[in-house]
Amino acid sequence: MSQDIEKKEFNITIYTENQVGLLNRIAIIFTRRKINIDSLNTSPSEVDSIHRFNIVITESEEVVRKLTRQIEKQVEVLKVYYNTNEDIIWQELALYKVSTDVIAEKVSVERLLRENGARAVVIRKDYTVFETTGHREETDNLISILQPYGLIEFVRSARVAIIKNSEGFNTKLREFEQLQPGEEVMENEYLNKGQKVFTM
């Protein structure tokens, strides 16, 4: 089958109930299709009892759209969006632990901090911890600078992202909550916008 499928990074944003076991339900949707999750962040959202997932995968849009529909099908999922990197503002947080002695002796710390937008979070006798936030290239950059001076430990967070183009989920959620329990169904206007911001 000759199908030119262009894979690229997609950010999937999921709003869910705060429910035990849901992470597993969502993860299974990816593992079933043997899709690797590049980055996964989950945390409480601005709305009480609602969690927000941010998942990054590299796939074709076709596959991503199908995945988002499967995810949105889960009972405890309120809403799913998918976006390309151009559609979002995103950050990763990185922490670097280096020997205070070495760093004080051999590096111009001031320059280092300024040029890399970093800041010192902790300064102890034995080590110092720096922090940067940014895209992968930016946080990678500081690793290569610090590596020669004996980087003791490094950690990077999952990606957090905010969608440029959406009005945000907050208002939507308020609407959800206002809906009275009832026979008739509501919502779903998004099915029309399938190509852009997907959600059910």
Partner 1 sequence: MEVAQQEIETKPAQETVNITGSAAVLEALIAEGTDTIFGYPGGAIMPIYDALYDYNDRLNHILVRHEQGGIHAGQGYARTSGKVGVVFATSGPGATNLITGLADAQIDSTPLVCVTGQVFAHLLGTDAFQETDVINITTPVTKWNYQVTDANEIPEVMAKAFYIAKSGRPGPVLIDITKNAQIQLFDYKGYTPCNHIRSYRPKPIVRPQYIQEAADLINKAEKPFVLFGQGVLLGKAEAEFKAFVEKAGVPSAWTILGAGAIPTEHPLNVGMLGMHGNYGPNVLTNECDVLIAIGMRFDDRVTGRLDKYAKQAKVIHLDIDPAEIDKNVKSTVPVWGDCKETLPLLTALVEEKQHIEWLARFNDYTRQEVEAVIHNELNPTTDEMTMGEVLKELNALTNGDAVIVTDVGQHQMVACRYARFNQTRSNVTSGGLGTMGFALPAAIGAKYGAQDRTVVAIIGDGGFQMTCQELGTIMQSGVDVKIIILNNHFLGMVRQWQELFNQRRYSFVDIESPDFVALAAAYRIPGKSISERTDLQGALKEMLSTEGSFLLEVNVTKENNVFPMVPQGCSVSEIRLK
**Nearest distance, CB of residue 184 and partner 1, angstroms:** 9
Which is nearer to partner 1, 79 or 159 (by Cβ)? Answer: 79
167 or 189: whose CB is closer to partner 1?
189
Q: Kindly tell me which of 70 and 85 has the beta carbon lying closer to partner 1.
A: 70
Contact 14, 82 (CB under 8 A): no
* Token pair for 75: 């009972």
- Closest CB to partner 1 among residues 77, 94: 77
Smallest gap from residue 53 Cβ to partner 1 (A): 13
91 touches 159 (CB < 8 A): yes
Q: Which residues sit at the interface with partner 1, rule CB under 8 A?
A: 1, 16-17, 20-21, 24-25, 28, 32, 65-66, 69-70, 72-73, 75-78, 176-177, 179-183, 185-189, 191-192, 200
Minimum separation from the CB atom of position 180 to partner 1 (A): 8
Compute the least distance from the CB of residue 28 to partner 1, in Å. Answer: 5
DSSP of 120-176: EEEE-SSEEEEEEEE-HHHHHHHHHHHGGGTEEEEEEPPPEEEESSS--HHHHHHHH
Residue carrying the six token digits 């029309």? 192
Bridge partners (DSSP) listed for residue 89: 162
